[in-house]
Amino acid sequence: MNDIDLDPVPAATGDDAIPVPDEPASETIIEIENLGFSYDHGKTETLQGISLEIPKNMVTAFIGPSGCGKSTLLRCLNRMNDLIDTAKVTRGTIKILGQDIHAPDVDAIELRKHVGMVFQKYNPFPKSIYENVAYGLRIQGVQKKSTLNEAVERALVQSALWEEVKDRLADSALGLSGGQQQRLCIARAIAVQPQIVLMDEPCSALDPIATARIEDLITELCENYTIVIVTHNMQQATRVSARTAFFYLGELIEYAATDKIFVKPDKKQTEDYVSGRFG
């Protein structure tokens, strides 16, 4: 398992070669511009004018002290914050694939089919393993058995769970171990083949071995998916992500290639935080 730590992150290496590391190498998939967000009808802003471009098919990490708004920003990206009555976007725009996601003709439900999410605490449905993975397709109206079987298998293989569960697909998902359940949640999210997968501290409830497997998985997945991951684990950020954004008190302090953030950040705050001297 040790070799994982040493594994070079493919995208990061690519970035290193480019002299101007602040410019993303590949095309941008998410553009956040001057985003302001409030949980209380606009009285106080939890996010204050965030501007950020997230490149396609790479892993981007959000780091920052607790309460700085990482999850909030992540949940803005698939409009999960719509579920909170008092919450609202106060200014700015988010464009995904060039489309403003708050435009009046955009349906949050459609959006979420393209922007999947994996939660901090693994939360498979109290259904069978198979039904968990097939859920996203079923709600999209897919009924054909062969299509479903194929999609389920593909998602489970991609999330490196297939070998472990292929003989017990009909068993309850709640009988899996924590790490397996989290990988199942990833499989469930990627079964519908979203373009983007948002992960909010996906490993915080897992032991080091399960964490390593998920990290492995993330590095593999970024070939096909754009991944945005929130993490408190600095090593994890360096291991999996190509680019890292550091937030503090609702503001984006610094955003650059991961190596740069961790080796030679521009801002003092960033340096303090990543080196653990943060007060």
Partner 1 sequence: MAAMRGPQVMAKRFQKRDKRFLGIGAQGAIKGFFGGNALLSIAILLLICVFLGKEAVFFFPKHHEELELYRESGQEYVDSMKRQVEGHAELNGLVAQAYYAELDEIAGKERSIVEAFGAIVDTGEDLGEDEIDDWADARDDLEDARDDGDAAAIATAQQAEAQARAAWAAKLGAITPELRRGEVDSYGRLTDADWEQLLASLGEWDPVEEEPPAMVEEAEAALKRKMTSFGDARDAFATAVSDLRQLKERLRGIAMDVKDEAVADQTAAARKAALLAGAEKAVQAEDRQRRLDEAAAIVIREKFPFAERTAVFYESKPEHAKVAEEYLVKFDAALALLPVAPGSPEAMAKLETVREKAPDFRSDFQRYSAAVQEWTHDKPYGWFKSLGKFFFGKDWVTNSSWHDFYGLLPLFTGSLLISLIALAVAVPFSMGAAIYVNQLAHPWEQHIIKLAIEFVQAIPSVVLGFFGIMVLGTFLRDLSQVEWLSWVPGFPMQERLNILNAGLLLALMAVPTIFTLCEDALNNVPKAFTEASLALGASKLQTILRVLLPAAISGILAAVLLGFGRVIGETMVVLLVAGNKIAIPDFAAGIGVVTQPAHTMTGIIAQETGEVDPGSLHWRALFMVGLILFAISLFINWTAQKIIHRFRIA
Ligand X SMILES: Nc1ncnc2c1ncn2[C@@H]1O[C@H](COP(=O)(O)OP(=O)(O)OP(=O)(O)O)[C@@H](O)[C@H]1O
Q: Which of 2, 66, 140, 146 binds ligand X (CB under 6 A)?
A: 66
Nearest to 54 by CA among 244, 266, 238: 244
Nearest to 194 by CA among 80, 117, 107: 117
Distance of alpha carbon 110 from alpha carbon 114, whole angstroms? 7
Distance of alpha carbon 7 from alpha carbon 240, whole angstroms? 9
β 196-200/226-230 pair status: parallel
CB of 5 to partner 1, least distance (A): 31
CB 54 within 8 Å of CB 62: no
Which residues in 77-136 contact partner 1 (CB under 8 A)? 78, 80, 83, 85, 109-113, 116-117, 119, 121, 123-127, 135-136
Of the two residues 188 and 239, which places its CB atom closer to partner 1 in the complex? 188
Q: Indicate which of partner 1, Mg ion, ligand X, none lies near residue 174 (CB less than 5 to 8 Å, by partner kind).
A: partner 1
Interface mask (CB under 6 A) for ligand X, residues 199-238, using x and -? Answer: ----------------------------------------
Q: DSSP strand E in the chain: where? A: 28-38, 47-55, 59-63, 88-96, 99-100, 115-118, 196-200, 226-230, 243-248, 251-257
Binding positions for ligand X, rule: CB under 6 A: 39, 46, 64, 66-72, 84
The residues of the shown chain that bind partner 1, judged by CB under 8 A, are 78, 80, 83, 85, 109-113, 116-117, 119, 121, 123-127, 135-136, 138-140, 174, 185, 188-189, 192
